Structure 1
Amino acid sequence: MVKDTVYNLGLIYVVILCINFGYGEAIVNTFLINCGTNGSVTIDGRIWIGDMEPNNNVTFSSGIVVTNSSYNGDSSFSMLYTTARIFTDSLNYTFIGARGNYILRLHFYPISFQNYDINKSFFSVEANGVKLLSKFNVPGEISLRKSHLQGSDNSSSLILIDEYFLNNDIETLVIHFVPDEGLFGYVNAIEIVPVVDSLFVETVNKVGSGSSSSTGSSLNLGKRGIQTMYRLNVGGSEIKPDDDDLWRNWKVDTGYMLTSNAGFEIKNKSRVDYASDNNTIAAPLMVYETGRSTSNADVLEKRFNMSWKFVVDPGFDYLVRLHFCELEFDQPSQRSFRIYINNRTAADNFDILSHAGGKNRGYHQDYLDSVPAKIDTIWIQLGPDIALGSSESDALLNGLEIFKLSQNGNLAHIEDYGPLELKKSSKNLILWVGAGSGLAIIAILISITVFLCFRKRRGRNKPSDVKTWRPLFLNGSLVNSTANAKGTVRNVNPSSLATGGSSRHFTLTEIKSATNNFDESLLLGVGGFGKVYKGELEEGITVAIKRANPQSEQGLKEFQTEVEMLSRLRHRHLVSMIGFCEEHNEMILVYEYMANGTLRGHLIGNDITPLKWKQRLEICIGAARGLHYLHTGSERGIIHRDVKTTNILLDENLVAKMADFGLSKTGPSLEHTHVSTAVKGSFGYLDPEYFRRQQLTEKSDVYSFGVVLFEALCARPVINPSLPKDQINLAEWAMRWQRQRSLKTIIDPHLKGEMSEECLEKFGEIAEKCLGDEGKSRPTMGEVLWHLESLLQIHESWIRDMAGEDEEGGGGGDSFSSNRGGPARIEDVVESV
C-alpha cells in the first residue's frame, strides 16, 4: 500500500512539472515499451523498457503476459517480438508526460502464443479518442499488404508496424485496445517518438484546384489524426529506421510501379543539402541523394509516365507528399514536367530547380486529394508536359509518402481479410475456404460467398461508372515486353503465328475485323477477365480473342502478367499467345485457337462424347509436362497458381495445353523457400497449406493437379453443394475412398471396364501423394509426370494383353466390370487405343 501511494505521488509530481512548463516548454519524452515483460532490451542503440518495469511513466489496466521462442526474423529484434501482452478484455496503456506532437508506432508479430490462435485475433485500437484500427487481424493485414505490391515479394518478414501522427494537448496519452466480442487481441511493442518541429502545415495544394487552398478551418491538419500509409525512397535502396532522425523506414519503390523500367535510377554527383525553406526533418538527406528519372532509352516511347499504384482505404482524405532534388541540371526550365494524382493534374510545368532554389537541394511538395467511397487506389504519375519538347519533359522523383487523414475522429477502415476473417455465429464457426472438412451444405455456400467477396474486393480498383482502363495511356511496358532491343515491335510471319513465334501487337481494327466487331455468335466463353471470342485473322488463321471487361474482377495487373509470361514461355503444352492489343483503352489478348475447348467441358459436358481412359491419361500427362516446364524452365521457375480443368485446353488432336497465366507468380529465389503472397486461386483446388500460411510454392500447383487427377477419374465438379455433405468436396470424398483402396466405387461409369485394377490403383496413389497435407511430402511435377508416363505404358501393355486374350477367348483379364452389366466389350477396349 505504501509503495503504491509513493508511486502515485510520483506520477502526480511529474504531471505538475509538465503543467508548470506549459505547452511550449513541455517535457519531451520518448516511450519505447516492450510489452509483456519486466526487462529491458537495447536495439539499434535504443532501450526498450518492459511495460512491467516500475517508474517508467506508463501504466496498463489488464492483459496476459505471453512469450514465444519461435520468432524467425532479424535476431537483433528477437527480444522485442518474442513477448507480447494479450488481452481478452479492454486494455489501456496510459503514458504520463506525452503532451505535444508525437509519432505513435504499434508493433505486431503474428505468432500464436500458447493456446491463442493468432488467426482468431480481431481487435480495435483508439488513442485519445481517435479510432486507429477496427476489427484488425495481423496475419490478414500482412497478407493484404503484400498483395498490394505490383511485383513479386519474396520478403519473409512478418513484422507489422503501424504508424500514426497525433497532436496531444493534454499531459497523458491513453491507448485503448478492445478485442472483438469473444476473441482476443495483442501487442508486442509500443513506440512514441516526439516531433519537436511540425511535419505538416495548414496550407496544402488540393488536387484539381489549380492553386493552394487554406486548410485551417475546413481540414485542420494539426488537429486530425494522421496515419502513414506508404513511405518510399524512390530510385534508391531501403533506408532503415536507424538512418532517420525520427526512426522512419523508407522502402524501395519498384514493387509499387506499374512498370519498373519506366524510369532509371540516378544518384547525386556532389553533396546534397536541404532547400532553405524546407523542413529538415521531412526526410533524411539519403532520400534526396537518389531518384528516378523518365529518361529511359530502353523503352519504346519516351513520352510516357512513370506510374506508381497504391491501394488505400476508400472514403478518406489523403495527403500525398512528393520529395524532389534536382541532381542533373543547374538552370531553371531545363526540366519541367506534369504531376498527376488519380488521373487529375496536380501540377503542370513543375520545375524542381525553381521550387528548391538550386541544384542538389532537397525539397518536398504536399498535395491533398479525397478518395471516394467506392475507390481504393491512388495513382501517382509523373510525365511530360505535352506543350514542351521531349528534351525538357523528363520527370524526376526522389521520395514519396502517402498519409491518411482522419474523418470525424476515425482512421479505421474495416478490412475484408477474405478467408482469414472470423465469421461469427452462435458457435464462432470459422469457415476455411478450400479445406472442405466435412461441413454442411449451408457452410459451403457461406464459404463460397465469402471467397467471392474476397476476390471481388481485390478488383475494386475502379469506380463503378468508369468504363475505360486507366491509367494505361502512354505506358510502354506492354509493348516493351515484346519489343526488340531498339524498342520496335516485331510483327511476325503469318506462318509462325500458331507455332509460338514472337508476340504481335494488333490494332483494334484488326481485332474487330477478326471477330466481326465482337459478334456474340462467335462467343466461346466468359471468364473473370472478360469474354473470349473465336476469330479469324487476315492470314486465315483461327484464333481465340480474350477481351477484358473494365468491370471484371481482374484487370491491368493480370493483363500484364499474362503478356509478360506468355511472351517468354514457349512449350508444346502451354497455350501460345499470338499477340495483344492495348488500343483505345482496350486490353485484348490473342491466343492460338483450341478447337476442343476445356478438359472440364469434356468431363462434365452433356453433349460431348465421354473421353476414353487413355485419352484422359494422355491429357493429364500433357498438362503435367506443361506445369513441369513452368516449374523448371527458368532460373526461379513459375508457379501457375490456378491449375484447374477449365485452364487445361485441348486442341483438335486432344493435345492438352495449360492456359490462363494471369495469377502466375515467379518462384522464390535460391535463398527463399516460398513466395509470400495473398491467397488466390479457385475454390476446391486451393492448397490448404498455402491457404493457411499465405506461402506459395510449386507444391501448391501439385496439390491443385492432384484435384485435377481425381476430377478426370470421377468426371464430377470439385464442389457440388447439392450432394450429401460428405460428398460435397471432391478431393475429400475421393481421398476417403482412395485410403480404403476402393476408388472403383466412385469412378466415372463411362470408364468401367476401360482400365486394369493395377492402373486404377497406381493412378489413385499418384493423386493421393499430390494431395499430401504438407508441401514437403508431395512429389514434384517432374516426379508426377514420370509416374503418369509409366502408368500409360502399363495401360497400353494391358490393352495389348486384353486384345490377345480376346482372340484366344480368354475374357476380360483383371479389369473390373461395368455397373451397367456385363464385362468390358473388346470393341470398347480397342476403340480406346
Structure 2
Amino acid sequence: MKWHGLFLVAVILFLHSSVGEAQVKALLIDCGSNSSTHVDGRKWIGDTSPIENFTLSYPGIVASVAVVDGEPAYGSLYQTARFFDAPSTYNISVFPRTYFVRLHFFPFSFESFNANESAFDVSANGLKLLSAFNVPGEISWKNTKNSSNYSSLVKEYFVNVSSNQLAIIFVPKLGSFAFVNAIEIVSVIDQLFVDSVSKVGGNGLKANLNLDDWGMETMFRLNVGVPAVESSEDQDMWRKWESDEGYMFSVNAATTLSNTSSISYSNNGSFVAPLLVYETARTMTNNEVLEKHFNMSWKFDVDPNFDYLIRLHFCELIYDKPNQRLFKIYINNKTAAENYDVFVRAGGMNKAYHEDYVDSISQQTNTLWVQLGPDLLTSSSTTDALLNGMEIFKLSRNGNLAHATDRITIDQGGSTASPPKSKILWVIIGSGILSVIILSLVGAFIFCLYIRKKKAAVPAKETPPGWLPLSLHGAMGSTTNAQAYKSPSCVNGSLANRTGRRFTIAEIRSATNNFDDSLVIGTGGFGKVYKGETEEGTPVAIKRANPQSEQGLAEFETEIEMLSKLRHRHLVSMIGYCDEQNEMILVYEYMANGTLRSHLFGSVLPPLTWKQRLEACIGAARGLHYLHTGVERCIIHRDVKTTNILLDENFVAKMSDFGLSKTGPGLDHTHVSTAVKGSFGYLDPEYFRRQQLTQKSDVYSFGVVLFEVVCARSVINPTLPKDQINLAEWAIRWQRQHSLETIMDPHLEGSYSLESFKKFGEIAEKCLADEGKNRPTMGEVLWHLEYTLQLHEAYTENLSIESLSKSEVRFADMAISLPLVKEGEEASPDISRSN
C-alpha cells in the first residue's frame, strides 16, 4: 500500500509538472478532521480518514470547537486540531525537491488541554523549526508589537527534501502538549531563490547561501503601500502579504502610489510575487509632513544570532527614463546599494523586479532595519526613493531555525506577562487619532476634487497653458484674473510695487548658466534652487518651480502670497520674479553661509561658537516674532527647523521657506483648524493630535531648534538607541535632570558661560511644554534669549578684565624687580641681588 501511495504521488507530480512549472503542487492537510473541506478555494484533506500518501505515528487526541471567531478565511479549517501529549510524526510521501511548509495554529482549549499551557518542539527532516513554542504567547507578542489583532498564527518554512519522505515531528515539553490545526505543503519553483546573494556592506561581494543544505523561515512578507494581499490572491504560492504600515518607523515618512496598468515581469515570474504587490508602492515624493531628505524606514523584531535574507521588490511606476530616481538602500545601518535606479535594473518602467541581500544579526541585538533614502550626491531629477514589497527570511544555522519563545511571555521582571494595559490603551488612542487623520484627509481629498471640477468648468480659452503667470495670481496684486488680461500694465505696476524686479527668462538663464546642476544649492517639493548672479554682479538665489509637482505649486503660491507682504531684516527677502515661457521663478537675496544646520553637523564647515549660536537663535526668533505680531494678521510659519534658518555673509540669521505658512486665527478664534503639515521631529504634538494650529506650534518647533543648536545632531536618528532616536524627548530628559551639558556639542567645551547655558536650556524646555497654553510666546522667548546673550557677554567681559588684571600684575611685578639705572650707565648683571 505504501509503494502504491508513492507511485500515486509520483504520477500526480509528473502530471502537474507536464502542465508547466507555474502550476504549483500542494498537499493540504486538515488536522483532526475526518472529511475533506474547501477553504480559500482549495481542497483540504482530513487526516483521520485513511490516506495513502502520509501516515501519523501517534494519533494523539482529535479536538474540535463549535465556532471560530475572527478568522473568516480559515474558520472551518480551524474548528479542528490534533493535540499530542507524546511525540508524533507526520510521514508524508513527496517528490524530492524544495517545499514551503506552513503550520497553522489556532489556540483553543479542549477538555483538560489549555492552549495557553502548550509548549513543544517541531522539526522537519532533521531541521529544527520550533523550540519550546507557545502559540498564545507568540500571538500576544505579535499583537503588541504591531498593534494588530491576530487570533491565529501561520509559521512558514522553506525546506529542501532530498528523499521521498518528509517527516514533520511534534515533541511536547515535559508536562505540556503540542497541537496543530493544519499543515500546508506547497512545491517551490526551482528559480524562486538563488544561492549567490549580495552581502550587505560587502562592496559588491556575494554570499553563497547553500540553500540545498540549509532551511529558511519566513519572518515577514509585506505589500508596501497597502492593502494586504490575501493568500487566495497569490495563486502560484498561496502566500499572504501583510500591509507594511505596522512596521514603518513613521508612516508619515512616505506616501503611497498605485498603478494597475501594463505591469509585466522583468527577472521575475509570477511565482516570485503576484502583480498586486508591484501595483502599489511607497515613495517620498510630495511628502509635506516630513523633512525632504529623511529616509523611509521599516523596523523588524527578529531573532538574534542568525543570518537573514532580505528580498526587496521594485517596480518603477512614474519615470520612463533612467537617472530620474536614484536612491540608497540601507540594511541594519549599513549601505546595501548606492545610486539604485529601478528603471535601469528592471529594464524599463512598469517592470517587476526584485533584489536579494543577506546580512547577519549579532547575539546582542534583535532588531533589523531597512531604510531607503535619496542619494543627494547624484544628478537625478528627484530626491526620492521607492519600494513595492519586502520579504525577510531567517537562514538556519547548524540545522536550527528555532528560537526559544520566552522573549514573548516573560517581562523584565521575569514573570509571565500579557501585553501591558498601558500599551493597549495607547494602541486604542493611536487608532482613534489615526481615524481622525484619515477622515480629515478624505475630506480634504473630496474638497480638492470639488475645486478641480470648478476649475475645469472654466472655458479653455480663459486658461493659458502651463503655469499661470505670477501677475495673474491674486496674491501678487489686487486685480482679478479677468482684469489682469484686460489691463496688464496695471497689474504689472502693482506687482512691481510688491515683489520687486521682473526678470526675463534670458536673464535667469544667463544668471544660472542655463540652469546648470552644478549651481544647485537646494531642492524640495517645488523644484530646485540655484545660485546665480545678476548682470550687476549681485549674487542671488533662484527658485525654479517644477511644473510636475502639485505640492510644489501650492507651496510656491503660498510663498508668493506671504513674501509679497513681508519685509523684515530677519526674513529672507524676495528680489524679483520671472513668469515667462510658462516658468514660475522667484529670485531671493543670496545667503552666503547657507543653513544653520550645515554649521552644526553633517558638513565640513567649522563649528559655530556659543555666541554665534545664540545670535543665530535670536535672529530667527526676531523673524518669527515679527510674523506672529508685526503684520495685520499673524502668520504661523509651520515649518520652523534649522534648514529653514539661513545665515548671510555676516552670520545674520533669517527665516526662509514660507511654503507651508498659514495665516493665523482671527480675534474671535484661538486656533486655525487645518491638516497637519510640517517636518517630522519638529512637529507640535498638540497640533498633530488636534489638528488645531496656533502660534505656539511655531514655539514648539523653535524649542526643538534650540536643543538641536546645543547638541549638534539630527532631530530624528533611527540608528541610535531607542531612548535617543528623538532629540526632543532625549534632550528634555537631560534638561529636567539639570544635566543638559552632558549631551552638548563637544565643540562648545570651555567656550560658554555656564549661567547662560542653563538659562538657554530652561527656555528650550518651556518651549516644549505638552500644551500650547503653557509655552511662552515668541516675544518672551526672544527676550530670554537676548538676556542669555547678555549673560554670556558679561561672562566673557569679566574673563577679559581678569586676564588684563593678571597681565598688569605680572607687568608690575616685573617693574619692581628691575633696577633703576641712570642715564648713560649700564646695569650690573647682579644688581638685583646687590641688596
Give the shorter-chain TM-score range: 0.5 to 0.7
Inter-partner Cα distance in structure 2 for 1:516 and 1:181: 50
What SS does the aligned partner of 2:171 have?
strand
1:542/1:126 CA distance change after superposition, 3 Å: same
1:199/1:19 CA distance change after superposition, 3 Å: closer
Alignment correspondent of 1:251: 242
Q: 1:110-189, aligned counterparts within 5 Å?
A: 110-149=107-146, 152-153=147-148, 155=149, 157-189=150-182
Q: 1:8-87, aligned counterparts within 5 Å?
A: 8=2, 10-11=4-5, 13-14=7-8, 29-62=25-58, 63-87=60-84
For residue 384 of structure 2, the aligned residue among 394, 401, 420 is: 394
Alignment correspondent of 1:104: 101
Shift of 1:53: 1.8
Inter-partner Cα distance in structure 2 for 1:71 and 1:452: 25
1:193/1:504 CA distance change after superposition, 3 Å: same
Inter-partner Cα distance in structure 2 for 1:50 and 1:83: 10
Inter-partner Cα distance in structure 1 for 2:711 and 2:256: 40
The superposition leaves residues 554-598 of structure 1 with CA deviations (integer Å, 9 ceiling, x where unpaired) of xxxxxxxxx9xx86x679xxxx7899xxxxxxxxxxxxxxxxxxx
What SS does the aligned partner of 2:74 have?
helix
- The letter for the 1-side match of 2:704 is H
Shift of 1:224: 1.1
Alignment correspondent of 2:88: 91
Inter-partner Cα distance in structure 2 for 1:516 and 1:35: 55
Shift of 1:415: 2.1
The superposition leaves residues 377-418 of structure 1 with CA deviations (integer Å, 9 ceiling, x where unpaired) of 111100011212574331010001101100011000112245
1:416 aligned to 2:381? no
Shift of 1:97: 2.3
What SS does the aligned partner of 1:479 have?
coil
Shift of 1:300: 4.2
For residue 681 of structure 2, the aligned residue among 475, 478, 483 is: 478
1:491/1:315 CA distance change after superposition, 3 Å: farther
Shift of 1:283: 0.3
1:29/1:96 CA distance change after superposition, 3 Å: farther
1:450 aligned to 2:435? no
What SS does the aligned partner of 1:354 have?
helix
1:357 aligned to 2:560? no
Q: Contact 2:159 / 2:216 at 8 angstroms: preserved in 1?
A: yes
1:274 aligned to 2:477? no
Alignment correspondent of 1:291: 281
Q: Contact 2:735 / 2:761 at 8 angstroms: preserved in 1?
A: no
Inter-partner Cα distance in structure 2 for 1:493 and 1:83: 59
The superposition leaves residues 499-549 of structure 1 with CA deviations (integer Å, 9 ceiling, x where unpaired) of xx888424337768999996998479xxxxxxxxx9997489689799xxx
Inter-partner Cα distance in structure 2 for 1:262 and 1:292: 9
1:201/1:101 CA distance change after superposition, 3 Å: same
Q: Contact 1:490 / 1:502 at 8 angstroms: preserved in 2?
A: no
Higher share of residues assigned helix: 2
The superposition leaves residues 162-190 of structure 1 with CA deviations (integer Å, 9 ceiling, x where unpaired) of 11111111101000000111110100000
- The letter for the 1-side match of 2:370 is I
Inter-partner Cα distance in structure 1 for 2:376 and 2:24: 50
Inter-partner Cα distance in structure 1 for 2:418 and 2:38: 44
Alignment correspondent of 1:235: 225
The superposition leaves residues 264-296 of structure 1 with CA deviations (integer Å, 9 ceiling, x where unpaired) of 111126310101x33431100111111111113
Alignment correspondent of 1:208: 201
Alignment correspondent of 2:192: 199
Bigger CA radius of gyration: 2
Inter-partner Cα distance in structure 2 for 1:269 and 1:121: 45
Shift of 1:130: 0.3
Shift of 1:29: 4.8
- The letter for the 2-side match of 1:187 is V
Alignment correspondent of 1:690: none
Inter-partner Cα distance in structure 2 for 1:504 and 1:290: 38
- The letter for the 2-side match of 1:167 is N
- The letter for the 2-side match of 1:192 is I
Alignment correspondent of 1:599: none
1:241/1:21 CA distance change after superposition, 3 Å: closer
Q: Contact 1:70 / 1:82 at 8 angstroms: preserved in 2?
A: yes
For residue 299 of structure 2, the aligned residue among 309, 316, 324 is: 309
The superposition leaves residues 799-829 of structure 1 with CA deviations (integer Å, 9 ceiling, x where unpaired) of xxxxxxxxxxxxxxxxxxxxxxxxxxxxxxx
Inter-partner Cα distance in structure 2 for 1:32 and 1:19: 15
Inter-partner Cα distance in structure 2 for 1:76 and 1:352: 35
1:505/1:91 CA distance change after superposition, 3 Å: same
What SS does the aligned partner of 1:11 have?
helix
Alignment correspondent of 2:704: 505
Inter-partner Cα distance in structure 2 for 1:290 and 1:72: 30
Unaligned runs of 5+ residues in structure 2 are: 424-641, 644-677, 713-727, 741-754, 778-835
The superposition leaves residues 3-28 of structure 1 with CA deviations (integer Å, 9 ceiling, x where unpaired) of xxxx4453365588799999999998
Alignment correspondent of 1:321: 311
- The letter for the 1-side match of 2:383 is S
Alignment correspondent of 2:393: 403
Inter-partner Cα distance in structure 1 for 2:47 and 2:123: 19
Inter-partner Cα distance in structure 2 for 1:578 and 1:49: 70
1:180/1:476 CA distance change after superposition, 3 Å: farther
1:230/1:509 CA distance change after superposition, 3 Å: closer
Inter-partner Cα distance in structure 1 for 2:732 and 2:48: 75
Q: Contact 1:38 / 1:52 at 8 angstroms: preserved in 2?
A: yes
Q: Contact 2:2 / 2:52 at 8 angstroms: preserved in 1?
A: no
Inter-partner Cα distance in structure 1 for 2:84 and 2:264: 47
Alignment correspondent of 1:827: none
Inter-partner Cα distance in structure 2 for 1:516 and 1:53: 66
What SS does the aligned partner of 1:10 have?
helix
C-alpha RMSD over aligned residues: 4.4
Shift of 1:336: 0.5
What SS does the aligned partner of 2:285 have?
coil
The superposition leaves residues 473-521 of structure 1 with CA deviations (integer Å, 9 ceiling, x where unpaired) of 9995322455989xxx999669x98xxx888424337768999996998
Inter-partner Cα distance in structure 2 for 1:453 and 1:108: 19
Tell which has more relative contact order, 1 or 2 (C-alpha 8 A, sep 6+): 1
The superposition leaves residues 390-449 of structure 1 with CA deviations (integer Å, 9 ceiling, x where unpaired) of 74331010001101100011000112245x46xxxxxxxxxxx9xxxxxxxxxxxxx944
What SS does the aligned partner of 1:386 have?
coil
Q: Contact 1:491 / 1:504 at 8 angstroms: preserved in 2?
A: no
Q: How many pairs does the alignment contain?
A: 488
- The letter for the 1-side match of 2:273 is A
Shift of 1:221: 2.2
State the percentage of identical aligned residues.
Answer: 42
- The letter for the 2-side match of 1:398 is N
